Chain A
Amino acid sequence: MLKLTRSDYFALRQHGEETYPHECCGVLLGRFDDGGAKTVWRIARCANTRQDSPQNRYHIDPKELIRIQREGRERDEDIVGFYHSHPDHPAQWSVTDLAEAHWFGCSYVITSIERGVAAITNSFELAGTDEGDKKLVDEKTEVA
């Protein structure tokens, strides 16, 4: 399960509206709970560096990720997941999303943006033990 505050939930959806018709992307920081759930304490917006096809691709600069990771360590936060948007496309993971997912145990949150307006937000956890058996599985999201 992924636990998000209402303000973070709306903030990541709003990010997708702001970057429409391009995909947005960002990082979820918080804690892995003992019971297997993840609690998000804050989100960090990132730039989508895929200038060649930003309407249906995203990529986060590793340098930006290192900075976010470093700031997170100083606050005792872990990277627990990522988010991105699918402009005029369902809030379901794509073949590309799975192929490019490498953070096992983390959440991949996808928001569909329909004609500029955030529609559905779904979360998927990258399950499996390695690249050979990985899969994105539906994950319950708790917004409070």
Chain B
Amino acid sequence: MPQIQIPSPLRQYSGKQASVDVAGNTVGEALAGLVSQHPDLKRHLYTDDGKLRAFVNVYVNDEDMRYLQKEATVLKDGDTISIVPSIAGGGL
């Protein structure tokens, strides 16, 4: 069963859990399972039209899912999905 790592700012919406085990054969199914278990996470991860927010990075183990098969990426037993909001900014 894949495990999803929850970053610290989103744990208030995941029952304070740092990781959540979800069912799912693909990344998309796993993320759907996550928001099904914790509906308050949905608006932080997805736009109103159901697209993953641009600043939300999703990694399967150490690979960016954008460079795999995105949400159709097939998961293996023991895979870890990490949700990582982007870190950026600058003086101007």
Interface size range on B against A: 20 to 34
In A20-60, which residues have CB < 8 Å from any B CB?
A: 23, 25, 27, 32, 50, 53, 56-60
If the complex has contacts A69-B82, A130-B44, are A58 and B8 also in contact, measured as CB distance less than 8 A?
A: no
| Contact of A56 with B91 in the complex, beta carbons under 8 Å | yes
| Contact of A62 with B86 in the complex, beta carbons under 8 Å | yes
| Contact of A84 with B89 in the complex, beta carbons under 8 Å | yes
| Contact of B86 with A59 in the complex, beta carbons under 8 Å | yes
B72 at the interface (CB under 8 A from A): no
Give the distance to chain B from A67, nearest Cβ to Cβ, in Å: 8
CA A108 to CA B89, docked complex, whole Å: 10
Residue interface mask B65-92, A partner, CB < 8 A = 1: 0000000000000000010111111111
Q: Which of B5, B43, B64 contacts A130 (CB 8 A)?
A: B43
A80 at the interface (CB under 8 A from B): yes
CA A131 to CA B47, docked complex, whole Å: 10
A100 at the interface (CB under 8 A from B): yes
B18 at the interface (CB under 8 A from A): yes
Chain B residues with CB under 8 Å of chain A are: 5, 7-9, 12, 18, 43-44, 53, 55, 57, 59, 62, 64, 82, 84-92
